[in-house]
Structure formats: C-alpha cells, structure tokens
Structure 1
C-alpha cells in the first residue's frame, strides 16, 4: 500500500467511527454538558460511593451509573434555570434540599458521592423554587451529549432513556 493512501484511510476511518457513534467527545466521557466533560471513571467512582452509602454495597450497577449521569444533566438544567431567574443556587439552598431527602446528608458527607448529592440537592431546590417547567425550558440552550453506554437524553421526558448498556443495541426514545 502506498504511503499516500494512509491519510485517506485514516480520514475514512474517523468518519466511520463518528457516524457509528464510536468516536467523538464521548468515548471516555460519560456525558458532556455545555462542554463540561465528566469521565466514565468519575461516574463509576461516584456511583460506587452512592451504592455503598445507600445500600452498603461497594459494587455499582449500570443503573447506579445511569442515575448519576441523569442527575448531572438535571443539575445543569437546574443551575441554568436558577441563573435565568437571577437566583443562583447556594450551598444553603442545596443543604436544605438534601436535608429533606432521606439519606441526602449522608451522601453529601461522602467525598466520592458528593457530586451526586450536590446534583440531587440542586435539582430538588430548583424544582421547588422555579418549577420543572423552568428546568425543561433550559434544554433548548443546553448542549447534552451522553455516552450511548448510559442511554440518551430525551428532551420530551426530560430524563435519561436507558437501554442495556450495550453499544450494539440501539436505545429508542419513542
């Protein structure tokens, strides 16, 4: 094979990977929200800590990981709704919301589970303060890219639509 053909083959390979969903910004990312990347490793670490705190089980399931991803996306929408209302969510707001949830303060007390706890606290506060409609309205201006392993973000349901976790099995949103 001539060396001149290698760049063309590399470009063709990159196009194929992108079109099949196996490349792009989400390969090692669990989710990218408005350019903020959260790695699969971070999600796994957080999900394991949540499972340990909630169930006493140090093994996170795919469902635990999907809950973390969904919470992080919802947190971005909650924070955007709060910013739009001119009332950013404070630590006191989050703490009050977490205190109203069974196990919320325990999750916040675990450094590895804290990202999930903060996300849940922000979402609960935003839903109470601004309403779910205000959060849903933020989806139009929020860039959300979810790794197919965890599912897809459904803007109609404002939730993560999950599948098997297999990249070979398509996730449907209907």
Structure 2
C-alpha cells in the first residue's frame, strides 16, 4: 500500500519518446475537437438564416424529387435553399402565400406525389416571390441571406452562383470557397 505523497513506481524511469508521442497524440486529438466544432453537425445539410435544413428533410426531398424529376441532389438542395429564402422574404414583406396559390403554379400530377410536395412548394414559393418583387430583387435577397452548406454536400458562394456547387466534401475546400 502506498503512503500519501508517494509516487507510483518511484524507481521507474520516464521514456522520453513515449512522452513526446503522448503529447503529439493529445495535440492531434485536441485539434480534431477544435476543427470538429467548426464544422456543421452531421445532421445539418445547410442553414439559411436561422433555419436549418436537416439530413432527414434533405433525404426525403431528394427521394421525392426522384419520383417526379431528374434533379440532382445539389439541384434539390439549391431549390430548398432558395425556397427558404422565398419564405423569409415573403414573411418580411408581408406576402401571403397559400397552398392554393402554390397549387396554381404547379402541375397537378406532381402534387399527387406526396414525397415531392415540399420541393414543388419550394419551387412555387420561388416563382410567387420573385414574381411579386422581381427577379433582380429576389436575387439580391438570396445573395444577402446567410447561407451555409455542409461541405459534404457542396459549397455556396452567391458571388459565383445562386446554387449549390457540388464539391469533394473537404473542409479545406469549404474554407477556400467561403465568400469573403
């Protein structure tokens, strides 16, 4: 039994190589924690202002899109982002959009596919709001909105495009492509 204040294995010599390795491992793990905190969570595909597009919403919308169109996942995400911007602009400017207004913009056959309804409504919202305020003003609203895309799904740079640009899923690529 050890006495209080007695060190464990008092005759044991330290291995300097092991100490350096321990410090290096701790540094790498600490760096991973810091970098991990910078990335969006795995359940978040994008944020549009204060609104989150979750992985579940995105997956469901992509599956619905496959039933009615040939849109790629990045195109679907672009519509979802622009649809959310349209919702925010409509709310800010007092533009009321009902489901009946949306339905008038859409092919009735698309509305029969339940899984595709949200994507169709996003497209209708874009058309209604841009028709109400003008394409140029709507483009300005998209550019002014804080949009962040999880790098696994591409990048967003309104100076280059008002759509998601598919990417390699790299955090360093995301940092390079972030608007300044």
2:168 pairs with 1:149: no
Matched-pair contact (CA < 8 Å) for 1:79–1:122: yes
2:99 pairs with 1:91: yes
Superposition deviation, residue 9 in structure 1: 6.6
d(CA) in 2 for partners of 1:137, 1:32: 18
| Residue 120 of structure 1, aligned match among 119, 123, 129 | 123
Structure with bigger gyration radius = 2
Matched-pair contact (CA < 8 Å) for 1:108–1:118: no
Matching residue of 1:24: 40
SS at match of 1:30: strand
2:137 pairs with 1:134: yes
2:34 pairs with 1:15: yes
d(CA) in 2 for partners of 1:120, 1:87: 16
Greater helix proportion: 2
Superposition deviation, residue 133 in structure 1: 2.3
Matching residue of 1:74: 82
d(CA) in 1 for partners of 2:109, 2:65: 10
TM-score where L is the length of structure 2:
0.68
d(CA) in 2 for partners of 1:54, 1:12: 43
d(CA) in 2 for partners of 1:7, 1:33: 35
Superposition deviation, residue 33 in structure 1: 1.8
Per-residue CA deviations over 1:57-111 (Å, capped at 9, x if unaligned) read xxxxxx621122111111122123323332222222211222xxxxx33333222
2:67 pairs with 1:64: no
SS at match of 2:156: strand
| Cα distance, 1:149–1:16 mapped onto 2, change above 3 Å | closer
TM-score where L is the length of structure 1:
0.70
| Cα distance, 1:78–1:151 mapped onto 2, change above 3 Å | same
